């Protein structure tokens, strides 16, 4: 099963992805793969950090290479943060076809930009394992350390206003048209991202019968 998760920052994609991971899905999160590239190579860090700091899109060639390297044909896979533009969507379609696969469902985590700003105000991330928390809606046990690995939680630098503005611009101009295309193809399911994490997860489970066949 191939799942694509799309939506504004803070709409609950990563939280839903970690629930799906507990159920045996392989999660391919582009933001995390890029952070790993930066941590492992000074040369790549030099090239990638300025782009990520400006919240611009990294070039499609590297993104597609990272997908290729991390894709496991045997695994049920969730793509988080990919595709973000038409070129990546086209590439994904061809890539999956070569593997004899296709997208099973696109989950569109939908809420307003106002709702997004409200959510991001309290968002925290674990420095080590990247688990995402929220001060009010989804706090860790003590509110300052990660429940998984006890590392300190920090506010995501991506959530600063200038970066958010850039991300929104890219979302409106490049990502939204891809979501519309998936809707036209009948592949996209709208998930109400204003709900609690648990309700959102149940809505995801009900969005496609293959989730139920696979999990229950």
Tell me the number of residues near ligand ADP by CB under 6 A: 17
Q: Are 33 and 111 in contact (CB under 8 A)?
A: no
Stretch that binds ligand ADP, among 26-34, 70-78, 89-97, 197-205 (CB under 6 A): 26-34
Judged by CB under 6 A, which of 31, 36, 71, 104 binds ligand ADP? Answer: 31
Least Å distance, CB 172 to ligand ADP, is: 13
Question: Could you say which of 52, 105, 120, 193 contacts ligand ADP (CB under 6 A)?
Answer: 52
C-alpha R_g of the chain: 17
Closest residue to ligand ADP, judged by C-beta, is 31
Q: Does 158 bind ligand ADP (CB under 6 A)?
A: yes
User: Pattern of binders to ligand ADP over 74-113, x per CB under 6 A?
Assistant: -------xx-x---x-------------------------
User: Could you tell me which of 191, 4, 5, 12 has the C-alpha nearest to residue 119?
Assistant: 12
Strands 153-154 and 188-192: unpaired
Q: Is the peptide bond before 15 cis (omega within 30 degrees of 0)?
A: no
How many other CB atoms sit within 10 Å of the CB of residue 58? 16
Is 167 near ligand ADP (CB under 6 A)? yes
Does residue number 122 form part of the binding site for ligand ADP (CB under 6 A)?
no
Element (H, E) at 36: helix 30-40
Question: Which residue, 51 or 205, is less far from ligand ADP as judged by CB?
Answer: 51
Stretches 57-65, 176-184, 193-201, 207-215: which one binds ligand ADP (CB under 6 A)? 57-65
Element (H, E) at 80: strand 77-80
> Three-state SS for 45?
helix
Q: Which of 17, 63, 78, 153 binds ligand ADP (CB under 6 A)?
A: 63
Among the listed residues 34, 116, 153, 164, the single contact to ligand ADP using CB under 6 A: 34
Which residue carries 């793969």 as its tokens? 33
What does the DSSP assignment read for 54-73?
A: TTPPPPHHHHHHHHHHH--T
Under the rule (CB under 6 A), what is the footprint of ligand ADP? 9, 30-31, 34, 51-52, 55-58, 63, 81-82, 84, 88, 158, 167
């Amino acid at each position: 099963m191939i799942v694509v998760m799309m939506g504004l920052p803070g709409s609950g994609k990563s939280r839903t992805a970690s629930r799906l991971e507990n159920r045996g899905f392989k999660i391919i999160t582009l933001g995390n793969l890029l952070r790993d590239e930066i941590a492992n190579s000074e040369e790549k860090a030099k090239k990638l950090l300025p782009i990520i700091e400006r919240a611009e899109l990294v070039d499609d060639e590297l993104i597609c290479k990272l997908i290729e390297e991390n894709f496991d044909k045997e695994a049920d896979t969730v793509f988080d943060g990919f595709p973000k533009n038409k070129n990546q969507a086209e590439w994904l379609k061809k890539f999956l076809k070569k593997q004899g696969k296709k997208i099973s469902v696109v989950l569109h985590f939908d809420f307003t930009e106002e709702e997004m700003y409200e959510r991001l105000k309290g968002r925290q991330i674990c420095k080590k394992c990247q688990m995402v928390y929220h001060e009010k809606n989804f706090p860790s046990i003590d509110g300052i350390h990660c429940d998984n690995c006890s590392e300190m939680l920090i506010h995501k630098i991506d959530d600063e206003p200038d970066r958010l503005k850039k991300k929104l611009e890219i979302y409106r101009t490049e990502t939204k048209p891809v979501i519309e295309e998936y809707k036209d193809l009948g592949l996209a399911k709208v998930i109400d991202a204003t709900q609690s994490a648990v309700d959102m997860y149940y809505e995801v489970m009900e969005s496609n019968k293959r989730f139920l066949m696979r999990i229950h």
